[in-house]
């Protein structure tokens, strides 16, 4: 296990485990994403830009919940989850990822062998056959499954999570939300060739979508939503590390703890309002700021 990997995994454990305070201050923050980014790619660009958002129904609640889940490593199982890979690790913002390199899975950068035995024994085909990660918003990213046929995409997604990525059988609502997100991905809804800036507000949107869902449903939703929210908190923590942002860091850990089991969702929305103000205030010193990030990484 590389040091970068170990630190990233250690941080995930902090957010995931209730009650554990961050231990030794990090001398250099670690970004989990960089563990699967090609070494020749520019890390600053990779962490500050992302492919354009191409959604035909960007405000639809199911689409937004699907987007939250799509970014959660904890939807997958086995080695993929252990490594911290989410759907979005390969399909950035629902698109492709030309920088993706994962030992044993990738050939050239931007490719992955999703039938590798490393991720799952079920679909393992003993052949190393990595293919280009498709842009799910583009026409050539919709060849494997007919999205218009009711139930086909849902069946594909369940099978994919269980068989390809050794995940547990996902809740029906989780699959429905993921399917809504994938159906909404469409290059016709954006300037597909452009990039957009990554910002804390992406994570805030996800956290609010999750909080609204916890507050609005009568029975406790599948754990996947809370886990996805904790993953979002973890990503914020990478950008606002304890060594620079003691208060924000403590609140991120506290929110992670509040989300670690049923209940704890009370007053979440007010806490997110306060967090948002702090994130905004700290933005220029955070690792969302390109100059700060460049100073530290280059």
d(CA 10, CA 282): 24
CA angle 257, 220, 68 (to 5 degrees): 65
Asked whether the beta carbons of 192 and 138 are under 8 A apart, the reply is yes
Q: Which residue is nearest to ligand HEC (CB)?
A: 87
Give yes or no for residue 152 binding ligand HEC (CB under 6 A). no
Residue 57 has a CB neighbour count (10 Å cut-off) of: 16
- State residue 132 phi and psi, 5-degree precision: -65, 135
Binding mask 226-265 for ligand HEC (x = CB under 6 A): ----------------------------------------
Which residue stretch of 54-62, 73-81, 228-236, 256-264 sits at the interface with ligand HEC (rule: CB under 6 A)? 73-81
Which residue stretch of 45-53, 82-90, 220-228, 270-278 sits at the interface with ligand HEC (rule: CB under 6 A)? 82-90
d(CA 155, CA 158): 5
Among 85, 209, 229, 252, binds ligand HEC (CB under 6 A): 85
**Nearer Cβ to ligand HEC, position 85 or 211?**
85
Which residue stretch of 126-134, 186-194, 279-287, 288-296 sits at the interface with ligand HEC (rule: CB under 6 A)? 126-134
Cα 226 to the center of its chain, rounded Å: 13
Among 57, 145, 189, 244, binds ligand HEC (CB under 6 A): 145
Taking the CA atoms of 164, 168, 174 and 175 in sequence, report the sign of the dihedral they define. positive
Q: Is 271 helix (H, G, I), strand (E, B) or coil?
A: helix
The tokens of 232 are what? 């979002």
Among 78, 98, 107, 134, binds ligand HEC (CB under 6 A): 134
**Nearer Cβ to ligand HEC, position 76 or 187?**
76
Among 63, 157, 204, 279, binds ligand HEC (CB under 6 A): 157
**Nearer Cβ to ligand HEC, position 224 or 275?**
224
Residue 7 has a CB neighbour count (10 Å cut-off) of: 18
Give yes or no for residue 89 binding ligand HEC (CB under 6 A). yes
The tokens of 17 are what? 């485990």
Q: Is 124 helix (H, G, I), strand (E, B) or coil?
A: coil
Q: For the packed helices 223-239 and 200-216, what is the interaxial angle rounded to 10 degrees?
A: 160
8-state DSSP, 105: T
Which residue stretch of 84-92, 206-214, 236-244, 268-276 sits at the interface with ligand HEC (rule: CB under 6 A)? 84-92
- DSSP strands (E only) in 120-160: 131-132
Which residue stretch of 38-46, 56-64, 140-148, 211-219 sits at the interface with ligand HEC (rule: CB under 6 A)? 140-148
- Applying CB under 6 A, the residues found at the interface with ligand HEC are 75-76, 80, 85, 87, 89-91, 105, 112, 114, 131, 133-134, 136, 141-145, 157, 160-161, 178, 182
């Amino acid at each position: 296990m590389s040091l970068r990997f170990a630190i990233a995994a250690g941080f995930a454990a902090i957010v995931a485990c209730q009650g554990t305070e961050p231990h030794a201050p990090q001398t250099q923050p670690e970004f989990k994403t960089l563990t699967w980014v090609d070494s020749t790619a520019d890390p600053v660009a990779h962490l500050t830009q992302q492919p354009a958002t191409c959604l035909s129904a960007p405000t639809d609640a199911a689409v937004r919940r699907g987007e939250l889940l799509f970014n959660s490593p904890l939807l997958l199982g086995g080695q993929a989850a252990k490594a911290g890979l989410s759907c979005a690790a390969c399909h950035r913002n629902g698109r492709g990822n030309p920088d993706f390199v994962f030992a044993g899975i990738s050939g050239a950068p931007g490719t992955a062998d999703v039938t590798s035995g490393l991720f799952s024994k079920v679909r393992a085909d003993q052949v190393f056959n990595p293919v280009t990660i498709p842009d799910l918003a583009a026409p050539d990213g919709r060849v494997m499954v007919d999205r218009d046929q009711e139930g086909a995409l849902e069946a594909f997604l369940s099978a994919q999570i269980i068989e390809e990525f050794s995940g547990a059988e996902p809740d029906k609502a989780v699959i429905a939300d993921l399917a809504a997100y994938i159906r909404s991905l469409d290059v016709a809804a954006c300037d597909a060739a452009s990039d957009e800036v990554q910002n804390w507000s992406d994570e805030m949107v996800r956290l609010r979508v999750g909080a609204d869902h916890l507050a609005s449903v009568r029975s406790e939703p599948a754990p996947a939503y809370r886990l996805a929210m904790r993953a979002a908190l973890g990503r914020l923590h990478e950008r606002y590390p304890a060594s620079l942002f003691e208060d924000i860091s403590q609140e991120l850990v506290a929110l992670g703890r509040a989300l670690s089991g049923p209940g704890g969702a009370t007053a979440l929305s007010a806490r997110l309002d306060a967090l948002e103000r702090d994130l905004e205030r700290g933005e220029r010193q955070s690792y969302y700021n390109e100059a700060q990030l460049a100073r530290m990484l280059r």
